Amino acid sequence: MDQLLRFAVMVAGSVREVSDFAVVDTGRLRRVMVVGSASTTLLDVGGVGMEMQLSIAARPEAVSFDPGRTAVMVIDMQNDFGCRGGMFDRAGLDVAPIAHLVQPISRLLEAARRNALLIVYTRQEHNADLSDAGNEDAPHRIKHKRLNIGEAVVAPSGIQSQILVRDTWNTAIVPELEPQPGDAVISKHRYSAFFETSLDSLLRARRINTLIFTGATTSICVESTVRDATFRDYRCIVLRDCKAELIAADTMRSNHEASLLAIELLFGWTAESEAVIDALSRSAKAG
């Protein structure tokens, strides 16, 4: 192992010659003090070498990520948004664009799980009495009234449920993307998954620095979470083919495209899911 660590340190290029080193931190990621001929520095190395950086094609330029410090975010892929009988469907909106995300997201999650990436699901949901939806004059409460938030309904299976209320059919993750053991599920009561949740603490405890975004909808819950993530210095990669937007979907210039442009300019990067899957596949073969 000493020779492997020495090799990994030299590959990093920080020093041309390594005269000595010492592990000063332990865990999944080990911090090594490297003594070179002209300097001493600290490098983070994994149990079997350097942190892995996978580069993928993206906009506005290529971007890299370390699988060990990356989480895949699955934003609000729940029945209320993507299924017949859910909130959007009852409001007369076409949920097909969200339903069509299931296949590409599923393929990405399979690759992520094979490579031990953290997967984080979010669900937008409220208490049955809507006590966490704001008071009657709060914008969040007012805007959701037209979508009948809290209304008692019958789910397609015949069971009793409530629109956008936790622990009901309406806010359950769509069956095709059901969370697996080891995945994290974040319950949120506003558009951003960082607002009054444990998400930031969860990510920092796992030393996550990069978030790969999937889910719906592009310009609301996804973009809100991306903005909050960027403010907290997470690197955000939004997958264009794993996003859907119902607002202005039938117009020449959609909210979906506007959000992606804003993200590319100021908040992160956008890419295709195949680029991530291919990079993870190459990494697995190399390992």
**273: helix, strand or coil:** helix
Choose the catalytic residue: 76, 80, 89, 228.
76
Choose the catalytic residue: 66, 89, 221, 242.
221
C-alpha–C-alpha distance, residues 162 and 41, integer Å: 57
Q: Please say if 83 is a catalytic residue.
A: no
Q: Please say if 250 is a catalytic residue.
A: no
C-alpha–C-alpha distance, residues 197 and 224, integer Å: 14
Q: Are 29 and 209 in contact (CB under 8 A)?
A: no
Which residues are registered as beta bridge partners of 42? 33
Secondary structure element (H or E) that encloses residue 102, with its range = helix 102-114
Choose the catalytic residue: 66, 89, 188, 243.
188
Q: Please say if 221 is a catalytic residue.
A: yes
C-alpha–C-alpha distance, residues 215 and 75, integer Å: 4
Structure-token pair, residue 191: 């558009």
Q: Are 202 and 73 in contact (CB under 8 A)?
A: no
Burial of 205 (0-12, 13-18, 19+ CB in 10 A): exposed
Instruction: Give catalytic residue positions.
Output: 76, 188, 221
